[in-house]
């Protein structure tokens, strides 16, 4: 269901077929593992069996003696990296740490850390060769929990890491890589004004993005120094930048070809296999292909953080929120860079609060370096905040949605980072949820509960480039550089068609390599339909102006007298009135090519809000939670393709259900992940979720020509808290730790161990 402000578009808001659909359903689309090149070798990675150890010696001689092995590389084959931060479009990486994560140097910092890589004539020989590499380790104590890692006597992952604080670097080395503080108002005064105060602690475990396609990369380092890499990535340009820095190779000599991608959700932004395939190709003079198995994906790529948080929230008897104090500690994995700051910034963004202090700690532990995962940092923060909000509403005897509505942030409200909110739609989402059929339906039966929660995500704009070219038949080619994960070929083609006033079917979108279009940031941050849409709009307007200029000569009229509207070019006197395609055909017959390009750095990603409602039933004998009904309400600004918006909303909910009820990295004391397979890492299937109802609210973004807001990330923010609130109402016991597995439900509600 779509709640529209108005409808004035011809293409935007419709539901056409996606242009890449045929190739994908017929199996013709090329994914990372589909690349085949003449003379191709196959690579495999030797990974550490220890969570924390010094690497004393690596002997590769026996592996190199294998008759089918062509090369072995270690960190000695990498140049010494710079100690500086590189922006990756969504997030950033220290280049020294990025290089050390690609191939371990003095120490391994997690089980699965890459130590060496082998290229052989076939994958089986490469696997055999790994066992021939001799590595001498000096095991060290491992620290696997964020709270343990923060202790002064905790084993240090990095002996020289002096974390950043608001006052400057720490005096002594620590596993606390950074401490950030958001502080405004007068906290003491705020809590003095509060009549009701709730304070609780919460914990979540590391979880993985769960993309179906494992990482796969192929590299060809040509004899002339040109490096070409084919890889399943969310950002071919950031991969190019990372390769240039890690390999010490000129960026102008690197071309990255993005394949189709079988999911990413933020996890396919950093490089893992790409530099290794490149090194092996350089050593052998042959193309080298590398693929991960599922265990490698779990143990050696970036999940999201395990977290600990403490939230104290106060309100007056009339239901006004007055003060919030919170502490968040997020696991960064082996190297600094958790999304804790984003968690701190988003957790109170849905509300008006005058007195706030949030302390956020980024903490390294002996686990894989975390990566972005759909609204990184926000779901865990909302899990804590939205339960405390719910408990306050209950104590005050106020409906939980009305309590949120009375305190909802709106245009002009102060954000945690100081700037006022622009035009936003949290209030409209809450009103839609309050009037929804779901919220007004009775919930009958024992052991059942209904929960709600709000969520916020910033959304990004960032850098985008496109090129638009008119074909001889008057149709239009759209060249873009953003990996298509959620249907962005279609959403961008629709915006171009709307701008030009032509049919959607007359636009042919193509995702190309880094040599074929201007710079594009990652497909992440809910930015492509928004940010690249702005580039498409600008290119479309440029194309129209170019056509008007050429028509001026063709029609012998001043440019000012030629107008474009509804896909037609007209003169004021009515003598000329012709459709876009016919005009282009006329100009093309004169031998005049028509094209336009645009590059934008889209500012202000127009943050989005969501409100979720969920009904659950908890089996008192087994502890199993069944999701009975789910409704997601979300402000899309303007839903370019409503079906894809609904799909994003539903997908975020499903991932949130898995995170809330089942998913977790389960580590033994030695740092070994015990459930590194989809058999044991329990993701939801179609049998675990109901039909998910959607309500799209449209409060146009003031920063986009069509009012678009990003939609891909905010739907994963509310589910954890909404389900926890529903479980509380079904059982009478607050769940402060994830996942809310049957075992945990029984332990907390019945005391069963």
Backbone angles phi, psi at 23, to 5 degrees: -60, -35
State the number of CA atoms in the 13 A half-sphere of 575 facing the CB: 6
pLDDT tens per residue across span 126-169: 999 999 999 999 999 999 999 999 999 999 999 999 999 999 99
Specify the DSSP element, H or E, that contains 236.
helix 236-247
Q: Which residues contact 442 (CB under 8 A, 6 or more apart)?
A: none
Backbone angles phi, psi at 5, to 5 degrees: -75, -45
The chain-wide mean pLDDT, for the chain, equals 96
Q: What is the pLDDT of residue 89?
A: 64
Q: What is the pLDDT of residue 85?
A: 82
- DSSP of 580-633: HHHHHHHHHHTT---EEEEEEEE-----EEEEEEEEEEE-TTT--EEEEEEEEE
Q: Which residues contact 374 (CB under 8 A, 6 or more apart)?
A: 209, 265, 266, 652, 655, 712, 713, 716
Using pLDDT thresholds of 50, 70 and 90, give the confidence band for residue 87: confident
Q: Which residue has the tokens 């948080």?
A: 309
pLDDT tens per residue across span 385-394: 999 999 999 9
DSSP-assigned letter for residue 107: E
pLDDT at 4 over 80: no
Q: Which residues contact 471 (CB under 8 A, 6 or more apart)?
A: 477, 508
Measure the CA–CA gap between 16 and 607, rounded to whole angstroms: 26
Look at residue 338 and give its three-state secondary structure: coil
pLDDT tens per residue across span 30-64: 999 999 999 999 999 999 999 999 999 999 999 99
How far from the centroid of its chain's Cα atoms is residue 54's Cα? 33
Which has the closest alpha carbon to 183: 320, 59, 62, 327? 327
Q: What is the pLDDT of residue 740?
A: 98
Instruction: Specify the pairing of strand 227-231 against strand 254-258.
Output: parallel
User: Contact at 8 Å (CB) between 47 and 112?
Assistant: yes
pLDDT tens per residue across span 564-593: 999 999 998 989 999 999 999 989 887 778
pLDDT tens per residue across span 515-527: 999 999 999 999 9
Using pLDDT thresholds of 50, 70 and 90, give the confidence band for residue 82: confident
Using pLDDT thresholds of 50, 70 and 90, give the confidence band for residue 84: confident
End-to-end, the C-alpha distance of the chain in Å comes to 44
Measure the CA–CA gap between 8 and 640, rounded to whole angstroms: 12
Which has the closest alpha carbon to 451: 684, 628, 200? 628
Measure the CA–CA gap between 274 and 270, rounded to whole angstroms: 10
Q: What is the pLDDT of residue 1?
A: 59
Length of the chain (residues): 753
H-type alpha helices, 438-513? 488-500
pLDDT at 261 over 70: yes
Domains for the chain: give ranges and CATH numbers. 2-28+461-602 (3.30.365.10), 416-459+605-749 (3.30.365.10)
Q: Which residues contact 703 (CB under 8 A, 6 or more apart)?
A: 422, 461, 602, 603, 604, 605, 606
Q: Which residues contact 308 (CB under 8 A, 6 or more apart)?
A: 146, 147, 201, 202, 203, 328, 329
H-type alpha helices, 638-711? 642-661
Q: What is the pLDDT of residue 357?
A: 97
The answer to whether the peptide bond before residue 739 is cis (omega within 30 degrees of 0) is: yes
Q: Which residues pair with 549 in a beta bridge?
A: none
Residue 106's alpha-carbon distances to 56, 97, 137, 296, in angstroms, are 8, 12, 10, 21
């Amino acid at each position: 269901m779509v709640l529209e402000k108005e409808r004035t578009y011809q293409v935007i808001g419709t539901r056409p077929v996606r242009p890449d659909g045929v190739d994908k359903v017929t199996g013709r689309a090329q994914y990372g593992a589909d690349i085949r090149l003449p003379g191709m070798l196959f690579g495999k990675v030797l990974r550490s069996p220890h969570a924390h150890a010094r690497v004393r010696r690596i002997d590769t001689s026996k592996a190199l003696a294998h008759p089918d092995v062509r090369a072995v590389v270690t960190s000695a084959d990498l140049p010494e990296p710079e100690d500086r931060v590189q922006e990756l479009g969504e997030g950033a990486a220290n280049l020294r740490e990025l290089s050390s994560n690609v191939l371990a140097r003095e120490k391994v910092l997690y089980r699965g850390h890459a130590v060496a890589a082998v290229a052989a004539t076939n994958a089986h020989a490469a696997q055999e060769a790994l066992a021939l590499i001799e590595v001498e380790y000096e095991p060290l104590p491992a620290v696997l929990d964020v709270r343990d890692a923060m202790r002064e006597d905790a084993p240090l992952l990095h002996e020289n890491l002096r974390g950043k604080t608001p006052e400057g670097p720490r005096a002594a080395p620590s596993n606390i890589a950074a401490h950030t503080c958001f502080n405004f108002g007068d906290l003491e005064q705020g809590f003095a004004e509060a009549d009701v105060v709730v304070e609780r602690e919460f914990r979540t475990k590391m979880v993985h993005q769960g993309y179906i396609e494992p990482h796969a990369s192929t590299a060809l380092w040509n004899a002339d120094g040109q490096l070409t890499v084919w890889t399943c990535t969310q950002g071919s340009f950031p991969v190019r930048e990372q390769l240039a820095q890690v390999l010490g190779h000129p960026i102008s000599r690197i071309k990255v070809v993005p394949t189709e991608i079988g999911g990413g959700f933020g996890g396919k932004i950093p490089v893992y296999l790409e530099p290794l395939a490149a090194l092996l190709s350089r050593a052998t003079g042959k193309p080298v292909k590398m693929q991960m198995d599922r265990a490698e994906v779990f143990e050696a790529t970036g999940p999201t953080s395990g977290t600990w948080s403490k939230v104290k929230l106060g309100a007056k008897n009339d239901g006004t929120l007055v003060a919030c104090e919170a502490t968040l500690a997020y696991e960064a994995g082996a190297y600094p860079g958790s999304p804790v700051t984003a968690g701190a910034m988003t957790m109170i963004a849905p509300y008006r609060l005058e007195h706030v202090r949030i302390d956020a700690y980024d903490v390294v532990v002996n686990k894989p370096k975390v990566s972005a995962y759909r609204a990184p940092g926000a779901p865990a923060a909302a899990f804590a905040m939205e339960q405390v909000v719910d408990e306050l509403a209950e104590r005050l005897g106020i409906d939980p949605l009305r309590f949120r509505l009375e305190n909802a942030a709106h245009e002009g409200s102060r954000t945690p980072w100081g700037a006022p909110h622009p035009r936003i739609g949290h209030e409209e989402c809450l009103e839609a949820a309050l009037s929804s059929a779901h919220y007004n339906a009775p919930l009958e039966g024992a052991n059942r509960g209904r929960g709600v929660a709000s969520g916020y995500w910033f959304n990004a704009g960032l850098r985008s480039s496109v090129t638009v070219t008119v074909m001889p038949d008057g149709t239009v080619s759209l060249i873009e550089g953003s990996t298509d994960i959620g249907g962005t070929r279609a959403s961008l083609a629709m915006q171009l068609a709307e701008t030009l006033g032509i049919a959607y079917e007359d636009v042919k979108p193509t995702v190309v390599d880094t040599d074929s279009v201007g710079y594009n940031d990652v497909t992440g941050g809910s930015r492509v339909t928004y940010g690249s849409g702005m580039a498409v709009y600008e290119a479309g307007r440029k194309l129209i102006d170019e056509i008007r200029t050429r028509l001026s000569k063709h029609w012998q009229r001043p440019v000012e007298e030629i107008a474009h509207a509804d896909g037609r070019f007209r003169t004021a006197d009515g003598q000329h009135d012709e459709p876009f395609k016919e005009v282009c055909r006329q100009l093309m017959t004169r031998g005049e090519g028509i094209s336009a390009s645009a590059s934008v750095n889209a500012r202000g990603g127009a943050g989005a809000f969501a409100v979720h409602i969920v009904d659950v039933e908890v089996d008192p004998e087994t502890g199993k939670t069944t999701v009975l009904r789910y409704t997601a309400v979300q402000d899309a600004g303007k839903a370019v393709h409503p079906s894809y918006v609904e799909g994003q909303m539903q997908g975020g909910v499903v991932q949130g259900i898995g995170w809330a009820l089942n998913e977790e990295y389960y580590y033994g004391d030695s740092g070994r992940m015990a459930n590194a397979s989809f058999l044991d890492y329990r993701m939801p299937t179609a049998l675990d979720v109901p039909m998910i109802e959607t309500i799209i609210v449209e409060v146009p973004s003031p920063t986009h020509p069509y009012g678009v807001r990003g939609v891909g990330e905010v739907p994963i923010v509310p589910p954890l808290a909404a389900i926890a609130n529903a479980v509380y109402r079904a059982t009478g016991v607050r769940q402060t730790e994830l996942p809310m597995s049957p075992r945990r439900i029984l332990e907390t509600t019945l005391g069963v161990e």
